[in-house]
């Protein structure tokens, strides 16, 4: 632990680049760039919408102004047609022009409301003056037309058709002097009103003012759209630059992280897989601290591993080798295949459960220790390394390079040693002059059969003694 702290202190004293020192400024820069990019996108969209709205508004205003001009022409033509010839050859009312005049008069593309609407649709004072002048002239024309129709109506009343009510409702009262005119004089005055030079001049002025209004409004719209397009183009260029900066920043961040964090971690992974120490030369300060810490832990692990390995191979209660060591022993014997003799002795401690249940587990543990002592003393080779506790009450001894006579002598000694140590252990063994995989399996099976046979005989003897 002291070495780890010393390594960490040495790293901390060095002026190394930390992850925070690199990433925090870059993240702050990226946030700022993203804010600018988002703001540019919002402004580009807003200007695009404004450009579209300007074009649509201008188109609508020009259409309304054109409708106003067309309406003036329609009223003028239909009024003149009726005033010039109020009666047909069959002496019936010339109803066609009246119907056309009434239909146009009922439309909503004239009057103060449409002039106000056209004045508010993005127009400047010049355009507003044009459309107001056109509206004044159109109003004068309509008043003249209605007065002319009133003169004719005083002679030839309009038919009682509902669609003509809109004309009747707007007809002015004749001046006193005109009421005293003869019918012929009234017709002549009505025709002079709609055919006069003043009437034509007013109609021309309407046409000219509407044309000026639409032309000027279109110029305003084109200039505005042009300015917005320039703004959008500038913002798009700025957006492209900032996007490139974002990409460059991300690339630089990735290169830095890859070189000093991702790549070292990948190397660390390979070092872990090969159980080697980490490289402490490359990477951020945190990466090097990690490498030093891991390397120190690796050393401590190796030291503890040797201690734990010995502890892992021993049975804590009896002091004999455990099942793990037993499996290793079998594998090593099979792998040798050196034609040595082989003996396999299987043990099962009798009355362990009964001892635990009646006297207590502490006495049961003592019984296991005594049984292990007997097994080790009789069948142990080389500090009992060939004797194993493989289960709760099961033990095994594996003996090599031993004769059958020697094995039987040890078995007899084991019987007497059990009595001296107050232990009862069933056992069975099998023997072979050679060792290989097939013979080991057969020997183990035979030893098991003999052990259970011995156990059964010992139980029968126990029952006979009780009886």
Is residue 466 over pLDDT 70? no
Return the higher-pLDDT residue of 424 and 281.
424
Q: What percentage of the chain exceeds 90 in pLDDT?
A: 44
Question: What pLDDT band is residue 77 in, cutting at 50, 70 and 90?
Answer: very high
Return the higher-pLDDT residue of 360 and 341.
360
Calculate mean pLDDT across residues 58-64. 83
Is residue 438 over pLDDT 50? yes
* pLDDT for 4: 47
Q: What percentage of the chain exceeds 70 in pLDDT?
A: 90
* pLDDT for 96: 93
Report the C-alpha gap between 11 and 467 in whole angstroms.
81
Helix (H) / strand (E) element for 25: namely helix 19-84
Domain spans, the chain = 1-13+284-311, 23-235, 323-466
Is residue 124 over pLDDT 90? no
Calculate mean pLDDT across residues 127-143. 87
Question: What pLDDT band is residue 1 in, cutting at 50, 70 and 90?
Answer: very low
Q: Coil, strand or helix: which one is 208?
A: helix
Question: What pLDDT band is residue 17 in, cutting at 50, 70 and 90?
Answer: low
* pLDDT for 19: 66
- The answer to whether 371 and 349 have CB atoms below 8 angstroms apart is yes
The model's pLDDT over 18-50, given as tens digits with 9 standing for 90+, comes to 766 667 887 888 888 889 889 989 988 998 898
* pLDDT for 290: 77
- State how far the alpha carbon of 455 is from the alpha carbons of 75, 347, 376, 441, 460, in Å: 130, 9, 20, 21, 9
Calculate mean pLDDT across residues 138-167. 92
Report the C-alpha gap between 217 and 208 in whole angstroms.
14
Report the C-alpha gap between 137 and 130 in whole angstroms.
11
The model's pLDDT over 391-419, given as tens digits with 9 standing for 90+, comes to 999 999 999 889 999 999 999 999 999 99
Report the C-alpha gap between 118 and 368 in whole angstroms.
111
Calculate mean pLDDT across residues 49-72. 84
Calculate mean pLDDT across residues 43-70. 85
Q: Are strands 394-400 and 342-349 parallel, antiparallel or unpaired?
A: antiparallel
Q: How far apart are the first and last CA of the chain?
A: 67
Calculate mean pLDDT across residues 435-439. 76
Burial of 263 from C-beta contacts in 10 A (0-12 / 13-18 / 19+) = middle
Calculate mean pLDDT across residues 354-365. 94
Burial annotation 142-160 (CB, 10 A radius, 16+ → b, else e): bebbbbbbbbbbbebebee
Calculate mean pLDDT across residues 432-455. 88
Q: Which two tokens stand for residue 357?
A: 């249940």
- Full-model pTM: 0.51
The model's pLDDT over 239-292, given as tens digits with 9 standing for 90+, comes to 899 899 889 988 887 787 777 777 777 777 777 877 788 777 776 777 777 777
* Domain 323-466: CATH architecture, name and number where available: 2-Layer Sandwich (3.30)
- State how far the alpha carbon of 90 is from the alpha carbons of 83, 161, 232, 233, in Å: 17, 19, 68, 70
Is residue 11 over pLDDT 70? no
- The answer to whether 98 and 82 have CB atoms below 8 angstroms apart is yes
* pLDDT for 121: 63
In angstroms, how far is CA 176 from the centroid of its own chain? 86
């Amino acid at each position: 632990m002291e070495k780890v702290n010393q390594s960490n202190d040495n790293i901390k004293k060095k002026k190394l680049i930390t992850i925070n020192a690199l990433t925090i400024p870059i993240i702050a820069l990226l946030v700022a760039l993203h804010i600018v990019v988002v703001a540019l996108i919002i402004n580009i969209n807003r200007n695009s919408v404004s450009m579209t709205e300007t074009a649509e508004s201008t188109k609508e205003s020009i259409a309304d102004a054109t409708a106003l001009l067309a309406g003036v022409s329609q009223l003028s033509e239909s009024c003149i047609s009726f005033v010039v010839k109020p009666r047909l050859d069959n002496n019936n009312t010339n109803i066609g022009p009246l119907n056309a005049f009434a239909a146009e008069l009922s439309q909503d593309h004239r009057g103060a409301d449409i002039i106000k609407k056209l004045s508010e649709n993005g127009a400047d004072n010049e355009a507003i003056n044009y459309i107001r002048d056109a509206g004044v002239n159109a109003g004068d024309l309509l008043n003249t037309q209605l007065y002319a129709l009133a003169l004719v109506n005083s002679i030839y009343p309009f038919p009682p058709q509902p669609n003509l009510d809109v004309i009747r409702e707007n007809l002015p009262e004749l001046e006193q002097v005109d009421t005293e005119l003869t019918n012929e004089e009234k017709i002549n005055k009505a025709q002079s009103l709609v055919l006069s030079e003043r009437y034509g001049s007013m109609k021309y002025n309407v046409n000219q003012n509407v044309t000026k209004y639409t032309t000027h409004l279109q110029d305003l719209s084109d200039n505005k759209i042009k300015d917005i397009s320039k703004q959008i183009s500038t913002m798009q260029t700025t957006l492209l630059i900032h996007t490139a900066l974002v990409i460059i920043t991300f690339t630089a961040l990735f290169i830095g992280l890859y070189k000093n964090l991702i790549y070292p971690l990948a190397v660390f992974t390979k070092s872990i897989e090969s159980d080697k120490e980490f490289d402490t030369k490359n990477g951020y300060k945190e990466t090097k601290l990690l490498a030093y810490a891991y390397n120190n832990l690796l050393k401590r692990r190796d030291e503890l591993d040797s201690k734990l390995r010995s502890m892992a191979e021993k049975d804590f209660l009896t002091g004999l080798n455990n099942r793990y060591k037993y499996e290793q022993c079998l594998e090593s014997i099979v792998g040798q295949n050196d034609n040595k003799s082989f003996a396999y002795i299987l043990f099962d401690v009798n009355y362990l459960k009964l001892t635990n249940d009646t006297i207590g587990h502490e006495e049961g543990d003592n019984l296991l220790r005594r049984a292990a002592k007997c097994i080790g003393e009789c069948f142990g080779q080389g500090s009992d390394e060939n004797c194993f506790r493989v289960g709760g009450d099961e033990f095994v001894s594996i003996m090599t390079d031993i004769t059958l006579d020697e094995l039987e002598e040890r078995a007899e000694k084991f019987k007497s040693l059990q009595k001296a140590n107050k232990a009862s252990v069933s056992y069975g063994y099998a023997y072979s002059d050679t060792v290989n995989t097939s013979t080991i399996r057969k020997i183990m099976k035979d030893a098991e059969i003999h052990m259970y046979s011995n156990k059964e005989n010992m139980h029968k003897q126990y029952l006979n003694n009780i009886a």
